[in-house]
Structure formats: C-alpha cells, structure tokens
Amino acid sequence: MTIRPILTAPDPRLQAVSMDVETVDSDIRTLVDDMADSMYAAEGIGLAAIQIGVAKRILVIDLDQKEGKKNPIPYINPKITWASEEMAVFEEGCLSVPEIWDDVERPARIRCEYLDRDGKKQTLEADGLLATCLQHEMDHLNGVLFIDHLSRLKKNMAIKKLTKAKKLQAAG
C-alpha cells in the first residue's frame, strides 16, 4: 500500500470525468487500498480516485476515521438512483481544496448503487453526513469540486487563495 500525492485545485486533472471500472480485480483493490492510505495520511474522510490522478469511478469513504477507527468503504462505479426533494446544508471541505470550508446545499437523503470490493452490486440509502460525503465524492467523478456549488465570487476567492498558496509553496 502506498500513500499517493493528492491533487489540489486548480489542477486541470481534477476536472476530468472519470471512467467506469470494467472489472474489480487485484489492481483495483490495490488502488482502493492506496486511496485509503492516502486519505488517512491527509486526515480526510473521503477520497475519489481522480484526486490521486486516476480517472476511474472509485470512492473511498470512512466516517469512522473521525473517532480514530479505520473502516474504509470503497464505492466502485457509484450512481445515485434517487435523491430526496428535501435539502440539507453541511459545511464542506476537501483534500483537493485545502483550508477552504463553506456551506453546500445538497439533497438530504439519497439511494446509491455501487460495486463493493468484491465486485458485487450493492444498494445503500444514506442521509446526514454519509449522504453529503457520497454526493461530494461523486461530484469529483464528474470533474466537479465543492467550490463549484458556491457563488461565483466565493469560488473565485477560493481559487485565488489556492493559486497564491501554490506559488508560495513553489517559491519556497
């Protein structure tokens, strides 16, 4: 298992639309393990494969990470099959948009289909933080960052802050 670098905005690779996984095999399971290790190293609770530069429709989420436990759950080829009309607002952050947090409104409840680590089809109904996290990570698979849900002004301010931080990092 390997900790891989996480891409940060405004890296154009984060705008790529990820491709479906054809077969869940040992290479995919190794990728899932690398994603979990990378997520833990960055102290995150979710990570999409594109965030480490792999344009495959794979997410890893671990809400238990907040309590110091490790229970990474991979979601391969996830699709939202239903979303509630009721909305919920959560303050979101992102490993690819470091040090920026803002409120994002999303459907409060969703139903999701995905393949598990063994390639078996699963269905999950989620609400609360899990629903928000799944939607946030699935956005990555379509080249969307959480700041894309913000006003143009807030998004532009976030991009300027990230660009400035990258320039400072490169210079010093």
**Which residues belong to the active site?**
137
How far is 150 from 123, CA to CA, in rounded Å?
A: 30
Give the alpha-carbon dihedral of 102, 107, 109, 113, to 10 degrees.
Answer: -100
Closest by CA to 74, choosing from 15, 34, 16, 22, is 34
Q: Return the DSSP state at 151.
A: -
DSSP code of residue 56: B
Structure-token pair, residue 98: 């470091």
